[in-house]
Structure 1
Amino acid sequence: MSKYTTIAIFGLIAISAILYTYFFYFKIEERLPIYQPSQINPALVDPSLIAEKDHRISDFNLYNQLGDTVSLSDLEGKILIVDFFFTRCATICPILTSNLKLIHDRLPDGVHILSHSVTPVADSVSVLAAYAEKYHADPSKWWFLTGSKDEVYRLARTSYFACLDEGDGGYQDFIHTENVVLVDPSGRLRGFYDGTKEKEISQLYLDLATLKKELSKIN
Structure 2
Amino acid sequence: MNAKRKSIWLFVAMIVCIPLITFSIARWYESRIKALPYYGKDAAKITSFNFMNQSGKNITEKSWSGKIVVVNFFFSHCPIICPKMIRNLKMVQEAFVDDSMVLINSLSVDPVRDSVERLTKFASEYGIKTEGWNLLTGDKAEIYHLARKSFLVTATDGDGGAADFIHSDRLVLLDKSQKIRGYYDGTNVQEVKQLILDIQKLREEN
Length-normalised TM-score, structure 2: 0.80
5+ residue gaps, structure 2: 1-28
For the pair 1:120 / 2:111, whether they are aligned, the reply is yes
Contiguous gaps of at least 5 residues in structure 1 = 1-26, 38-52
Map 1:8-87 onto structure 2 (within 5 A).
29-37=33-41, 53-87=42-76
User: Which residue, 156, 162, 165 being the options, matches 2:153?
Assistant: 162
Moved over 6 A (4+): none
Task: Say which of 78, 84, 100 aligns to 1:89.
Answer: 78
Give a deviation string over 1:107-148, Cα, whole Å, max 9, x none.
262010000000000000000001111222222210000010
- Aligned counterpart, 1:146: 137
Across the aligned residues of Structure 1 and Structure 2, the Cα RMSD in angstroms comes to 1.6
Q: Distance in 1 between matches of 2:34 and 2:204?
A: 9
Specify the structure having the higher radius of gyration (Cα): 1
Q: CA deviation at 1:209?
A: 1.0
- Displacement, 1:91? 1.7
SS at match of 1:105: helix
What letter is aligned with 1:102?
A: M
Deviation at 1:30, TM superposition (A): 2.2
Give the structure 2 partner of residue 9 of structure 1. Answer: none
CA offsets, 1:174-207, max 9 Å, x none?
0111011000111110000000000100110011
SS class of match (1:199): helix
CA contact (8 A) 2:40 2:152 kept: no
1:176 maps to what in 2?
167
Cα separation, 2, equivalents of 1:182 and 1:128: 22
For the Cα contact (< 8 Å) 2:67–2:175, is it kept in 1? yes
Q: Is the 8 A contact 1:101 1:135 kept in 2?
A: no
Q: How many residues of Structure 1 are paired with residues of Structure 2 in the alignment?
A: 174
Task: Check whether the contact 2:43–2:180 (CA below 8 A) recurs between aligned residues.
Answer: no
In 2: Cα distance, 1:187 partner to 1:139 partner: 21
Indicate the residue corresponding to 2:186 in structure 1: 195
Q: CA deviation at 1:76?
A: 1.5
Residues 118 and 174 in structure 1, CA contact (< 8 A), matched pair in contact too: yes
Shift of 1:69: 1.3
User: Does structure 2 retain, via aligned residues, the 8 Å contact 1:163–1:179?
Assistant: no
Alpha-carbon distance between aligned partners in 2 of 1:145 and 1:125, rounded to the nearest angstrom: 8
